[in-house]
Amino acid sequence: MTKKLVFGHSNPDTDTIVSAKAYSYLLNQLGEDTEAVALGTPNEETQYALRHFDEPAPRVITAAKPEVDQVALVDHNEAAQSVSDLAEVEITNIVDHHKFGLTTSTPLFIRAEALGSAASILVKMFDENKVEIPAKLAGLMLSAIISDTLLLKSPTTTEFDKIAVKTLAEIADVDFESYGLEMLKAGTNLSTKSELELIDGDAKSFEMGGKTLRIGQVNTVDIAEVFERQAALEDAMKAENAKNGYDAFLFVVTNILTSDSELLLVGDVTEQVEKAFAGKLVNNRLALPGVVSRKKQVVPPLTAAF
């Protein structure tokens, strides 16, 4: 059996790190030889979860070759979010809950569903394959769902996510609400982060209407505190646009307690952004009440406007 590496997207979040660990564990239980790795160091929220459940962070890689010829992707499927040499290896497995932009030369295994997290899909797959989820892993998978759904409050949350959280909380023996809030708060310690870390830590690139948009997001318990650094944030966004050829940088600051966001824009796409969110940018900022999900509430209206 050829060894496979299992990994999530670059700028890893909790769901991506945990889903790689969970899928690797499942594949190994089913007789494959895999290793979960990551395309970056876990963020503070993920580190809190790993510490809490006493699990190691995956080894960090930047390329799959020459180590392996086959890879399994979790929580992403597009080359732009993956290893630098994705085109040179065979993708044999994908578990994902995002939109698809994928071309393969051979048939492969794909399990995709519009659930709140990739970890939720894996909960189904453990059940279907009659593999038990160990308690520590259950705690991590619970963390992944809580992270991606902001404690089941994001509009991406499905009925199955709620069931999965309850099931996993029982296996892991934690109170998911109090644990979840502590974990989310651990990820909102923004004061120690540089402006670049804030805007780009979780950022993804999107092609819309011939333009390249970079969209970053941070969670906080105090939006105003983040915007105290607005001038420095804008400088960092300008520099990133120039360095990487982005047409625009959108930075979404989300309050996890109130489930609202505020957007900061640097780049010449004012018209499209105002159209997308039916509002006027003032001082490059736009309030997005009720918006917490980049995937469901930021990218689709932007795509439509472009």
Quickly tell me which residue has 């923004």 as its tokens.
190
DSSP per residue, 210-276: TEEEEEEEEEES-HHHHHTTHHHHHHHHHHHHHHHT-SEEEEEEEETTTTEEEEEEEES-HHHHHHH
99 binds a second copy (CB under 8 A): yes
Q: Tell me the closest approach of the beta carbon of residue 197 to a second copy, in angstroms.
A: 28
88 or 268: CB nearest a second copy? 88
User: Is the peptide bond between 301 and the residue preceding it cis, with omega within 30 degrees of 0?
Assistant: no
The C-alpha atoms of residue 121 and residue 273 are separated, in whole angstroms, by 32
Q: Tell me the closest approach of the beta carbon of residue 92 to a second copy, in angstroms.
A: 8
- Selected from 79, 80, 112, 281, the binder of a second copy by CB under 8 A is 112
Q: Tell me the closest approach of the beta carbon of residue 13 to a second copy, in angstroms.
A: 16
- Selected from 98, 136, 193, 229, the binder of a second copy by CB under 8 A is 98
The C-alpha atoms of residue 22 and residue 24 are separated, in whole angstroms, by 5
Cβ contact 28:34 at 8 Å: yes
162 binds a second copy (CB under 8 A): no
207 or 235: CB nearest a second copy? 207
* Residues shown for the chain: 306
- Selected from 111, 162, 185, 275, the binder of a second copy by CB under 8 A is 111
108 binds a second copy (CB under 8 A): yes
Contact range with a second copy by CB under 8 A, out of 35-43, 106-114, 172-180, 268-276: 106-114
Question: Residues binding a second copy: what is the number (CB under 8 A)?
Answer: 23
